[in-house]
Amino acid sequence: MPPFHHLLAAPLEGSGWGMPHDASLDGWRIDDLINETSVFVILLFAIMVAWMLWACFFHGERHPARYDHGTSRRSIAVALGIAAAIFFVVDGHLFLNSVLVWKHVFGNFAWAETQKETVRIEINAHQWAWAARYAGPDGKFGTQDDIVTLNDITVPQGVPVIFQVASTDVLHSFNIPNMRVKMDAVPGMVNRVWFTAKETGQFDIGCAQHCGANHYKMRGVLTVLPLEEWKRWAEVASANSARAYDAEDKDAQWAWDWEKHARI
């Protein structure tokens, strides 16, 4: 895990308000940012409601109205002070935490790429399915021993899983809510995202961008297995893919150079 423990509070089980179950090792960091944002929004809303209620009910002869066009130095200073307080306390806090979380965890592909057991998967989105490709025992994409699946992605528990995501037609969005990851699949480019699953089980994969008439059908399943069980699955899946390999089927041989898009 990246060296980031000291930057935020310890994870809390199920800490997200109304969020789907968190099955990822670092998903609590996303929940924490969402919760902090919600607290600040509620606090600012409560202050504004209290201010408006005070203005509505505390008036009359004992509280005569004072008209101000807002051009005096005092009015400008008060407005700037409030704006600065909100910006530096609220926006500054959330921005700083977001940058730190991205730099040290979700954007730390250099760390994820160098881990011994890291699993690399290419996702090729199209209307309306997720095609997945794993490098086989030779460690190269686009060869006969690649594992190729459709709407069915199997990964190991407890190790980083990196996805490179692309699209062959329109804009899609690769979304695994229980792993707190979502990345757009954009025609003509390769994006990437990674996570570490802390629990075994099956979890939904959805498309978070409306991609056409059958968008609602674009659903896949993520299966998380214990590491040793996953290795046995990968061995069998690679052998099956090798047997089904057809050199004449060029459409089924889609793949790209992983290193070209790794940017570590």
Return the amino acid letter for 212. Answer: G
- Better-scored residue on pLDDT, 208 or 63: 208
130 pLDDT more than 50? yes
Structure confidence at residue 169 (pLDDT): 93
The pLDDT, as a whole number, for residue 135 is 93
pLDDT band, residue 153 (cuts 50/70/90): very high
CB 188 within 8 A of CB 153: no
pLDDT at 11 > cutoff 60? no
167: pLDDT strictly greater than 90: yes
**Widest CA span of the chain, in angstroms?**
90
Of 154, 121, 182, 160, which is closest to residue 25 (Cα–Cα)? 160
More confident: 163 or 59: 163
Q: Give the other-Cβ count within 10 Å of 69's Cβ.
A: 6
Mean per-residue pLDDT for 21-30?
A: 91
Q: Is residue 167 packed enough to be buried (19+ CB in 10 Å), middle (13-18) or exposed (0-12)?
A: buried
Average pLDDT over residues 193-216: 95
* Residues 16, 11: Cα–Cα separation, whole Å: 11
- What rounded mean pLDDT belongs to the chain? 87
| More confident site: 204 or 51 | 204
Tens of pLDDT along 210-260?
999 999 999 999 999 999 999 999 999 999 988 888 888 888 889 999 999
pLDDT at residue 16, rounded to an integer: 53
Higher pLDDT, 94 or 183: 183
Instruction: Give residue 38's pLDDT.
Output: 87
Higher pLDDT, 97 or 58: 97
Distance from the Cα of residue 225 to its chain's centroid: 21
Query: Which helix (H) or strand (E) segment is 191 a member of?
Result: strand 191-196
Secondary-structure percent of the chain, ordered helix, strand, coil, rounded to 5: 40, 25, 35
Looking at residue 236, its amino acid is V
pLDDT, one tens digit per residue, over 38-87 is: 888 898 899 899 988 887 877 666 767 677 777 778 888 888 888 888 88
pLDDT of 249 reads: 84
Summarize the confidence of residues 126-155 as an average pLDDT: 94
Evaluate if residue 6 carries a pLDDT over 60.
Answer: no
Neighbours of 181 (CB within 10 A): 19
The count of C-alpha atoms lying within 13 angstroms of the C-alpha of 2, restricted to the half-sphere facing its C-beta, is 24
pLDDT > 90: what percent of the chain? Answer: 54
Please identify which residue in the block is written with the tokens 């002869």: 61
